[in-house]
Chains A and B, each alone.
Chain A
């Protein structure tokens, strides 16, 4: 039992050291500057279609389900209100984060893990390159910037498909949906969504990079690290989502 607790603290400590290394590496922008743009393309631009497709279907389902869960007598503009709140505050950032964990996070872990087991990272160290600055920081910065960007697109597409679904497939009028969309809206709701996405982006890049960076035991270890990275990051995103809601939801009221 004591050994298990000690092992847990050891894992937390190892990640803390990794975070410290990232902090130190941030002082060397020449190393990670050019690579960051490439990672932003990989993480952000290339993930855009997937994030938008997921958001489109989520938006459509949200509007459809909301309409048919309403009991009689409730004004139909509520469909717009609930769709907006669900997509912007929860589903947009959360599902984008989870989808990117599978697409981007697994890729980061696999890339770094392969580089580790093929000793490419050791070679960088030999060449006096800081591997954290060259490999981890660009991915972290790219994720921190591009996941919110993808979330904004996802929110827009989700609300758009919710609007189209409600108007075309249900008895909700465009005016009623628009009225609900605007009801009790505050710009902080967009900021809240972006804050969440930024946290999720950081979590994806950090946990997946760590798992890849510390991969051992060859190809099998790469696979194990990738699987573990996806699981850990997914759970971390859910936990961070709950914490963010606990901290920031009181400020959401119009």
Chain B
């Protein structure tokens, strides 16, 4: 009986010890084997801690084993990847938020398919990390500050400085203006209706007038007009010819050619003519004075 107690107690204690060790290892490492080590240098603000997951293409393949703070502003992170997983060459390591509680994870992002893999104990280049919860919260804080400032300005402008009262007045004025505009619009509508009615009547009259036009008469008129136009063209040509002849004649007269030209251009002829006229005047005066001298009328 006593020996059986010893065995039972021993079995239970051994089982408990095994459960505690295996369970801890499984929870901490994701398996019983340690996996192979890879390294990456992240900035101090990365927020990495031992035990955080390592994701390859979104799949949990390992865990953060050690985080060593360095004086050059980086943390040398040792993480272990399960032996069954190969990290392709060209993979970039980034620190990403894991959930909404501020936990972080290392994301290994392959650039593309690559048959060659990164060997154990190699260092993976670090990529740009997406904004974390802290950065988003910081942005949200600054936005909240801006919103607060805007709200304060609104409060000052609208409440303290009587902006709301002004707005109410403006609204009342606007309402009145709108009423006036409505009245104006209704007047315009009446005018437009009247104009429309008159336009309709004009259109009807025009339609009536156009319907009364005899197309045959129009054709005849157009024919006559075409004939008159042809006659006018002939007349115009004759007139142009006559004008040319007159031009030539005038030119000759100006040049003193011919009798008329000489009469017009020769001062001697003019003087002769004047002398003749003077003599005729004296003759006429003499005739008036003594008609008998010139007119000897005898009857019988």
A contact residues vs B (CB 8 Å cutoff): 34, 37-38, 40-41, 44-45, 48, 73-75, 77-78, 84, 145-146, 148-150, 152-153, 155-156, 159, 179, 181-187, 190, 194, 254
CB atoms of A145 and B13 under 8 A apart: yes
Chain B residues positioned under 8 Å from A149 (CB to CB): 12-13, 16
Chain A proximity of B15: nearest CB distance (Å): 8
A229 to B180, CA, bound (A): 92
Across chains A and B, the number of contacting residue pairs, with CB separation under 8 Å, is 84
CB atoms of B9 and A183 under 8 A apart: no
Given contacts A34-B2, A37-B6, A254-B49, contact A184 B103 (CB under 8 A): yes
CB atoms of B49 and A41 under 8 A apart: no
Number of interface residues of B (CB under 8 A): 29
Given contacts A34-B2, A152-B20, A153-B19, contact A186 B12 (CB under 8 A): no
Task: Please indicate which of the listed interface residues B9, B13, B51, B101 has the most CB atoms of chain A within 10 Å of its own CB.
Answer: B9
B12 to A, closest residue via Cβ? A45
Chain B residues positioned under 8 Å from A152 (CB to CB): 16-17, 19-20
* Per-residue contact bits, chain B 1-32, to A (CB 8 Å; 1 contact, 0 not): 01001101100110111011001100110100
Chain B residues positioned under 8 Å from A186 (CB to CB): 28, 50-51
Would you list which residues of chain B between 54 and 75 have a CB under 8 Å from chain A?
60, 63
CB atoms of B63 and A44 under 8 A apart: no
Task: Tell me if B98 counts as interface (CB < 8 A to partner A).
Answer: yes
Task: Tell me if B268 counts as interface (CB < 8 A to partner A).
Answer: no
A-B contacts, 29 of them at CB < 8 A, read A37-B2, A37-B5, A38-B2, A38-B5, A40-B9, A44-B12, A45-B9, A45-B12, A48-B12, A73-B100, A78-B99, A146-B9, A152-B20, A153-B12, A153-B19, A159-B23, A179-B53, A179-B60, A181-B27, A182-B27, A182-B30, A182-B53, A183-B52, A183-B53, A183-B99, A184-B51, A185-B28, A186-B28, A186-B50
Chain B residues positioned under 8 Å from A153 (CB to CB): 12, 15-16, 19
Chain A proximity of B108: nearest CB distance (Å): 16
Chain B residues positioned under 8 Å from A150 (CB to CB): 16
A75 to B5, CA, bound (A): 47
Chain A residues positioned under 8 Å from B49 (CB to CB): 184, 254
Chain A residues positioned under 8 Å from B9 (CB to CB): 37, 40-41, 44-45, 146
